[in-house]
Amino acid sequence: MSKITAGLFISLDGVIADPADWHFPYFNDEMGAAVAAQLGAADTLLLGRTTYESFAAAWPQREVEGDGDAALARSFGDARKIVVSHRPLEFVWRNSEQLKGELLQAVAALKQGPGRSDIAISGSVSIVRQLLAAGLIDELHLLVHPLALRTGERLFDEGSPIPLRLLSAQSFTTGVVHLVYGPQADAPTGDYGDAKAHLPQ
């Protein structure tokens, strides 16, 4: 069975929109290692159309230029790239294809497919929301930046609660916190009567 991970840059107040406008001042070696570990180790990338087009416009050229990010660019190029879109697409970046069928069913089939191929998602918030709600994401990597943007699209929209459990937490020297969550079968239960037993007496 494949493991599906999703990675997002996110502000303290939950905004994920346009990270290129605000997250680069916080990008250091620690964040680079976290991003490379989540994305670079996967042999399949699952991307929304907008994220794919952004990647395809940048990473092939970075691979050709051979600078410091060339190794990551090469791993992106070598990976199988599956793009989620409701309209037909034409691809120029190698190893790219369009997801066939309904999202949840198709991703569940990929997850249960033969072999053990890690599947990574970057950005693509609409896909992340749907897969989280369906319990199909094994690890949600949130790089929480120490700023409140106060405007912009947020990760979580209205709907039913999604219980998660914290798998790991790491703070960076920039103030960014790397939180990794996994699915939780049931949300904890309790009320003030339960809580007050833990208050200092």
The tens digit of pLDDT for each residue in 87-108 reads: 999 899 999 999 999 999 999 9
DSSP the chain: ---EEEEEEEETT-B-S-GGGTSGGG--HHHHHHHIIIIIT-SEEEEEHHHHHHHHHHHHHHHHHT-TTHHHHHHHHHSEEEEE-SS-----STTEEEPPS-HHHHHHHHHHSSS---EEEES-HHHHHHHHHTT--SEEEEEEES----SS-BS--SSS---EEEEEEEE-TTS-EEEEEEE-SS-----HHHHGGGS--
Please report, for the chain, the start and end positions of each structural domain, with discontinuous segments joined by +. Answer: 4-198
The tens digit of pLDDT for each residue in 140-192 reads: 999 999 999 999 999 998 888 999 999 999 999 999 999 999 999 888 899 99
Fold observed for domain 4-198: Dihydrofolate Reductase, subunit A (3.40.430)
